[in-house]
């Protein structure tokens, strides 16, 4: 079965090639290991960086460099801390990753209450 993701900014459909979930534990600012199955999926076509964005919007992207340790392990590295800080991620958050190919990754963020967070278009500055 093929899965697709709708991009609300462009109105286009994108085919999801691989999906996985990560539960953030301890300090989310440190490098984050990705599932071995995903590392195996990109073997032979390892990206230098993943272009991460919130699901449903192509407006904001964060380049996050990845590391491969030579033993089949893959980690989010440079740029991950900036992504974490912008999205105010903390231990207990659940992230769903959808790999769209060509190093593009779409992400949904759920907080510790398991409710999805939305970021693009949010205007919280007037709430002081």
Please report, in tens digits, the pLDDT of each residue of the chain (128 residues total): 445 454 444 445 678 999 999 999 988 999 999 999 999 999 999 999 999 998 877 778 899 999 999 899 999 999 999 999 999 999 999 999 999 999 999 999 999 888 998 876 544 444 44
Please tell me the predicted confidence (pLDDT) of residue 120: 61
Q: Which residues pair with 62 in a beta bridge?
A: 52
Which pTM was predicted? 0.80
Q: Which domain holds residue 60?
A: 3-117
Q: For residue 20, tell me if it sits in a domain.
A: yes
Q: For residue 18, tell me if it sits in a domain.
A: yes
Number of domains forming the structure of the chain:
1
Closest listed residue to residue 77, CA positions, set 128, 118, 115, 32: 32
Please tell me the predicted confidence (pLDDT) of residue 8: 45
Q: For residue 126, tell me if it sits in a domain.
A: no
Q: For residue 70, tell me if it sits in a domain.
A: yes
Q: How far apart are CA 128 and CA 6, in angstroms?
A: 33
Q: For residue 55, tell me if it sits in a domain.
A: yes
Q: What CATH number should be reported for the domain holding residue 108?
A: 2.40.330.10
Please tell me the predicted confidence (pLDDT) of residue 10: 46
Q: Which residues pair with 116 in a beta bridge?
A: 110
Collect all residues with Cβ–Cβ distance below 8 Å to 26 and sequence separation of at least 6. Answer: 91
């Amino acid at each position: 079965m093929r899965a697709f993701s709708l991009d609300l900014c462009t109105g286009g459909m994108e085919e999801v090639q691989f999906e996985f979930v990560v539960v953030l534990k301890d300090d989310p600012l440190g490098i984050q290991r990705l599932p071995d199955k995903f590392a195996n999926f990109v073997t032979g076509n390892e990206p230098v960086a993943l272009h991460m964005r919130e699901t449903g919007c192509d407006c904001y992207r964060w380049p996050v460099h990845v590391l491969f340790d030579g033993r089949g392990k893959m980690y989010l590295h440079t740029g991950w801390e900036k992504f974490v800080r912008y999205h105010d991620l903390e231990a207990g958050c659940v992230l769903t990753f959808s790999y769209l190919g060509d190093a593009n990754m779409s992400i949904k963020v759920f907080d510790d209450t398991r409710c999805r967070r939305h970021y693009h278009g949010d205007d919280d500055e007037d709430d002081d």
